[in-house]
Amino acid sequence: MSRILILGGTTEARALCSLLAARSIEAEVSLAGRVPGTDYPLPVRSGGFGGAAGLARYLREARIRALLDATHPFAAAMPWNAAEAADGAGLPRAMLKRPPWLPGPGERWRGMPDLAAAAAALPAGARVFLATGAGSLPAFASCRDCRFLLRQMTPPGPLPDHVEVLVARPGATAAEEAALLRAHRITHLVAKNSGGPARAKLDAARDLGLEVLLVARPLLPPGRLFARPEAALDWIEGLA
């Protein structure tokens, strides 16, 4: 029997899996393999496919009938691999991506096309809360006249001396985040426009009048795009 392949790694993918499982729609979820795929209500496969060609082979061999890309909005490669592999095989394909954050009143956001642009926009002497993950540090390597506070959930490896790490989860409320930003005398926040509920840091920056350098999402391939798991489910249910 042929099935649906969900490219996951997000809250939205997990929600869609629950909807599919509740309707007994045959499907499986694929994860990159960096975090354990526990607690999914569907079969999980893990690890890269080996580029678009590897994914095309998997789609054929696993008799996949449609592909739903529900990877994170900052996953830059997978949406294009999915487009090449599924479109090339004539398989139905759609994307599920949470909507980006939009600025509200009082917000001092500057849109940045990428991390390099954010690094170039930081003024000398800035004290920066870097909410873009440890992987983004190389982009800021030349900002020696700025200080960086990086929050991550695992202890760091060796770091340059203009970077301080806080091993912690994101704060749940704007008040909690504001207290952290104040304690570290932060002047700028650098964040990715991931969207979703975790915007307490942005609310805190607004409340403190801080400038936010918000990095835009990578470009998506053309194709059907849904913002909500329920809409993706409707699309799947409408497939022949």
As measured in angstroms, the least distance from the Cβ of 114 to ligand NAP is 13
Q: Which is nearer to ligand NAP, 208 or 225 (CB)?
A: 225
Whole-number minimum distance, CB 10 to ligand NAP, in Å?
5
Taking the alpha carbons of 50, 51, 57, 59 in that order, is the dihedral positive or negative?
positive
Nearest to ligand NAP by Cβ — which residue? 48
Minimum CB–partner distance for residue 223 and ligand NAP (Å)? 15
Closer CB to ligand NAP, residue 37 or residue 207? 37
Q: How far is the CB of 78 from ligand NAP (least distance, A)?
A: 3
CB distance 181 to 204 below 8 Å:
yes
How many Cα neighbours within 13 Å face the side chain of 176?
A: 9
Q: How far apart are CA 62 and CA 78, in angstroms?
A: 18
Cβ nearer to ligand NAP, comparing 49 with 140:
49
Pick between residue 6 and residue 180 the one whose CB is nearest to ligand NAP: 6
Sign of the C-alpha dihedral, residues 177, 179, 182, 152? negative
Q: How far is the CB of 20 from ligand NAP (least distance, A)?
A: 16
> At CB < 8 A and 24+ separation, what contacts does 204-208 make?
204/171, 204/174, 204/175, 204/176, 204/177, 204/178, 204/180, 205/107, 205/108, 205/181, 206/104, 206/106, 206/107, 206/108, 207/174, 207/178, 208/178, 208/181, 208/182
Binding site residues, ligand NAP, CB under 6 A:
7-10, 30-32, 48-51, 54-55, 71-72, 74-78, 81
Q: Which is nearer to ligand NAP, 7 or 86 (CB)?
A: 7
